[in-house]
Amino acid sequence: MVHFLSNRRVEIDIHHMRREEAKQYLERFLSGVDGSIKEVVVIHGYSSGTVLRDMVRKNLKHRRIRSKELALNPGITTLYLF
């Protein structure tokens, strides 16, 4: 689910998805999102395992991703976009 927090920032909740489903969802989103979006807050959760967290933090690659920031909340990662 995508929630627009502002005209430059969105939040995506993937914690209910399987790894491959979440990876494909994020890649499609990043390929199609408007260039004005510069931050994507990904809610991947952590209490039910680290598969989604590790996928977002270590394996997710896309030409739009400039950097990743780990939040104090271990269930969230912010993607900064070009």
Please report, for the chain, the start and end positions of each structural domain, with discontinuous segments joined by +. 2-81
DSSP 19-63: HHHHHHHHHHHHHHS-TT--EEEEE--STT-SHHHHIIIII---T
User: How many other β-carbons are positioned within 10 Å of the β-carbon of residue 22?
Assistant: 22
Q: Which residue has the higher pLDDT, 46 or 62?
A: 62
pLDDT digits (tens, 9 = 90+) for 14-54: 999 999 999 999 999 999 999 999 999 999 998 888 999 99
- pTM of the model as a whole: 0.94
CATH number assigned to the domain covering 2-81: 3.30.1370.110
